[in-house]
Structure 1
């Protein structure tokens, strides 16, 4: 809800830095409240009421980039920086907890929130200085390249396709460590190594696919990433050892680069409102994580056991690619 309401307000005001600043403040408040509460119900309420809106900050950043006329490659490169944070964050958090205790992580979250607030205030001040100097052009005059709005039917189809693609990606990440230990009978560390290799490869994959957006269509790049995902899931379904498990991870990284990088810019191209488009894309990930549950349940009920989960992922990805193909034809026929 917050990922749609906040962006809708920002679109109406043509201001994305203000809500981004509010998200930073809410994150700081959340850390303080979690440090004070002593029961799980109160912590849950705090996470719901404060943490939900606070988590929209990254959406506001992507929307601000689009509103400022950033190229798709610039947006994808920013997404690559976020991936670096995802790689560095969990080990750093584990180190802090192990060294200073559980509640010390709240101090770290608060410190990051202060840095976010400071950075956003600098951006706001720079924007005001640009406007005072006449260097800031109105949003309507900001050149946005590759703008290709599609009809409502196309948006609905592509949104549905991305829910499926995000669901399979989330399924693979969620079940991999369990699959490594229970089906492949390997040490749990191999699950961590596989996920770590994929995460490390995400950054160069995002940078590369960001550059390719200058030469190839977003839909075409997403199709290549989806095909890589199909190959990855089929490979996981028949993998027998750690070497093949690690060898498959470049396919996983390229799959994520298309869905997590180009997918974001595709939504921003489809919907001229930067806030709404980014919020809608972010919600495909959230809904996809919900759909991942049934995929795991249905896939594990097959005769193949947990291997059937990845076969189910491959089938669902094929369906997602098919829906994108239909959406592409629908869009072409309306032009």
Structure 2
């Protein structure tokens, strides 16, 4: 279907007066308790709920928004990126709802309004990367399936959320019907060789520095730095920044050494050929030509190993995009969104039995 993208010249006004009121009319807010899922996976629950926002496509249709389809297509679970939060995806949720999908977005542990294990609101820390995966799977199997209502349940991931998503597809191969990995963190960009990063963070964490902020990063100070977003849509970036300024829980901004340590461990696990061969969910992976946050080569390796293992995976390289493709100007974002929606709505290919 053809979607009319928000006019960037009136972006904040449209989000304030049209998009957010419509989303509020079909939104449910809650807290998912991951304890049972974590215990079943052999993890010790750390306590606290994981905040989520869910949007009901049926209620959205009642709003009679222009361009909304009357066809219910199932649900999309969104796995957000590092230092992000559910509300950052309001615009994308709007388009998914218009296309007939209910949407479920959970703040990962240590992000947004979810439970966190450090006092500094700017700092992201996790004790074990498996916790991200188990939490996402538990959320999708319960809340996500509820909103799918017997129709397909799909996964949309970005950056860190894409690394979590890839690992989830490996460990829970029958959970999702389709998955879009947008610039997934198969491996983070650390500014140094991977082997050196691993060695350094291993030593620092062993010396008790795991909860310390990574060198060179800083706490959130409210200043908008558009330096890393030269190609991105400035109205979108300013909107995200204002959301962060307005809500203290959205001010996660920097990594701890333990988070980097766990990201390195997740990277190794994801790229194991045996793990890639477990994937049954068809994957569409988007890669940005100007990505300074995650490495592109490991994404290529991941896709090739999924295919070699008998899975379905396709890589789309967008040469003129930065890391957040959904934050690019409409000229880039539009074709990207069309491919995402076409992938989710394409007829399922069922293997014949011989």
Flag the structure with higher strand content. 2
Relative to the length of structure 1, the TM-score reads 0.29
Relative to the length of structure 2, the TM-score reads 0.28
Max Rg structure: 1
| Larger RCO (CA under 8 A, 6+ residues apart) | 1
